[in-house]
Structure 1
């Protein structure tokens, strides 16, 4: 059942990066028990208490959290939540990476609609959860061929996309976030994806981000 628990964690983390509303925070709070169970099933020692406390605090200061979301991901871009934000010095590469990401989605009959961006952390985490659920479904159906398709897609997408930029993203969250919610969320994301990348070869981490290149640009991560 580890695939089910991995899919749940991806889905939870995707939801946690949505534009913050009190209802969203309450939903996340209710899901913490299942999140804890999922980490334990995967034999990951993760302390969720700081994040639980941060959610409780954020519920009382939603407007402040919304301001921080904008500062991090949309306006001043302290920590862009889009993969291709780290490709802007190579404009041609940005188009190539976006086309490749969308190719993954289209191969499974999926389409990312506004206000989401295909390369946002929200969309990429959601897609990986989808692939794991697909693998689980194929296993239940006894369809080894489909199971292999979903597994290969997961490994390729993680290697070529999600796995190459989450570290610089979470480093920026740790450095620039003024809200405990996003600092602890970044720590959870990094811990989980560090575990997920084990055994996946060929990942080349994106390591540079120059904010001045993005001046005047606004990215949509999904609101």
Structure 2
């Protein structure tokens, strides 16, 4: 793979991670749904995890879709259902299933080492899935910028950070999290998103290891 292809791949990865991060950060608003509707008109990959959702979006009102998806988000992740799924690494990785455990401290250390600042407005533990995905997006973007600047050593360092983060963090808990979401989600959006997230992380582990 030449430098231009690798740069494009890193930019594509960054966009994918930013989309996933946004989807888990807060309940989707109307602007998010409308953006998905516009994007759904573009050619999509075969076996798209969100195909069923886009089919619904093509025939239903954006507002109704927003209501349904927001309700599912609240039920799944905000404790408004009987079996909420905490989108935090600590809950899935600690023996006690509690927040603010060792995993949270570890990701904070990684964030700080890379100058990744969590917004004050995001008043939740730092091992929230959205933040871990946003961190990966940032590191993929930095890899692309390093390649464009002809700094291969820095690009390799950024890839090493991503490889370690996938192995030590995302890869350790995202599969179980996505399985739980797939089982409990009521909307095609979150069922598809869970599959997309798991596929992204698993494929990325293989990809980054190969690089």
TM-score range, shorter chain: 0.7 to 0.9
Cα contact 1:51–1:185 (8 A) shared by 2:
no
Structure 1 residue 63: Cα displacement: 2.8
1:26 pairs, out of 34, 37, 44, with 34
Secondary structure of the corresponding residue to residue 85 of structure 2: coil
Match of 1:214 in 2: none
Q: Which shifted more, 61-70 or 84-93?
A: 84-93
Residues 1:34 and 1:106: Cα distance change in structure 2 (over 3 Å): farther
2:101 and 2:208 map into 1 onto residues whose CA distance is 25
1:41-60 to structure 2, matched below 5 A, reads 45-47=46-48, 48-55=50-57, 57=60, 59=62, 60=64
- Structure 1 residue runs without a partner (length 5+): 202-223
1:169 aligned onto 2:177: yes
Cα contact 2:92–2:177 (8 A) shared by 1:
no
Residues 1:31 and 1:117: Cα distance change in structure 2 (over 3 Å): farther
Secondary structure of the corresponding residue to residue 197 of structure 1: helix
Match of 2:111 in 1: 105
Could you say what the CA RMSD is over the residues aligned between the two structures, in angstroms?
2.6
Match of 2:168 in 1: 160
Cα contact 1:54–1:181 (8 A) shared by 2:
no
Match of 1:95 in 2: 101
Which TM-score applies when normalising by structure 2? 0.80
Cα contact 2:20–2:133 (8 A) shared by 1:
yes
1:16 pairs, out of 11, 23, 29, with 23
- Structure 2 residue runs without a partner (length 5+): 1-7
2:158 pairs, out of 130, 150, 161, with 150
- CA distances 1:76-112 after superposition (whole Å, capped 9, x unpaired): 4532211111145347995321111011111121222
2:88 and 2:99 map into 1 onto residues whose CA distance is 14
Match of 2:194 in 1: 186
1:66 pairs, out of 62, 66, 70, with 70
